[in-house]
Amino acid sequence: MVKFVECTNCHTTIQLPHGAQSIRCAVCRAVTTDTKGPRKGTQLSTKTNNNSSLSNTIKPPSVFGRKRALIIGINYKETEGKLEGCINDAKCMKYLLINRFKFPQHSIVTLTEEEKDPELIPTLHNIRVAMYWFMQGVKAGDSLVFHFSGHGSQERNYTSDEIDGYDETLCPLDYETKGEIVDDELNATLVRPLPRGAKLLALIDACHSGTMLDLPYFCRMDRTGRYVWEDHRPRSGSWKGTSGGEVILFSGCDDHQLSSDTECLSKVTSTGAMTFSFIQAIERGQGTTYGSILKAIKSFIRNSDCDLGSNISPCLLTMLTIGGVSGLSSRQEPQLTANEPFDVYTKKFSL
């Protein structure tokens, strides 16, 4: 049974460990005590209908070395920030994982507006529940993939955890009324609990996604493929690493940049530029190492004959939060961050 409480300070939904009576919020650090017992609608359903709950939508294999994926694609239909290619990204990523990397279809949860199950609509609550499910029972030998395609934004940081003074955020379908998911929460949910021997590959195709998981090390690669690891550990001393596991993130752009949603690359339909380029790198045999993938993605976007800047749909929250997009770079440069630095050209890519 998965139980949630609401932070009494910032109102973030938090998973309460089994048997615990209180928990410290990873976002605002306030302590919340569970005084009301189980709340209606705060635990994963155990209905027998396979289409009625996340817990029955997917039953992870019990064998050692399990593969599991959470894929989220949001087009924000009927909103001013409507996108065209994010659900396509989700479908393509699922196809890639099943057919290229042999992920069992039943071990992949996909959240998009097209899902018929209301618990698979990418609302703030459903994404949080899915992420908590995603990390349940993870152990050595497990291979996890988290993919998000949609809007990303920023908000001011007041804890000295961010070099640029801003937290990065993901925008659920209902972000205009329910709010965003801050990078601190993503780190606390997906990164810090990962145990030794388990690995997580994250791909976040969104604006301002460079350090979306708040990972400690940033791989800065130039046009020639030369790179250096930058130390992004918070000056406050906060721990942003894992519990021994490996986390690597490919992001659509740097924190100060916007990501493109365009049909110019595929020539057929709209996609996220980073997701499309990542899949192209894998399919063209350029996915041998993490360095070869990053270099191929950057090169593909840079050398395309598309004016990607004209296809960018900036998040409205970005314009409201940091006063417009005039100070932002429209040139998209995919990035790589990790919980530990490594030789990107010798470390083999694997899922």
Residues marked active site are found at 151, 207
One-letter-per-residue 3-state SS of 131-184: HHHHCCCCCCCCEEEEEEECCEEEEECCCCCCCCCEEEEECCCCHHHHCCEEHH
What type of residue sits at position 271? T
Counted residue by residue, the chain has a size of 351
The pair of structure tokens assigned to 61 is: 């294999």
Distances (CA, A) of 325 to 201, 253, 258: 30, 15, 9
Helix (H, G, I), strand (E, B) or coil at 262: strand
* 143 touches 66 (CB < 8 A): yes
* 105 touches 98 (CB < 8 A): yes
Cα(88)–Cα(91) distance, integer angstroms: 5
Cα(84)–Cα(82) distance, integer angstroms: 7
Burial 18-40 (b: 16+ CB within 10 A, else e): eeeeebebbbbeeebebeeeeee
Q: Which residue has the tokens 């698979």?
A: 120
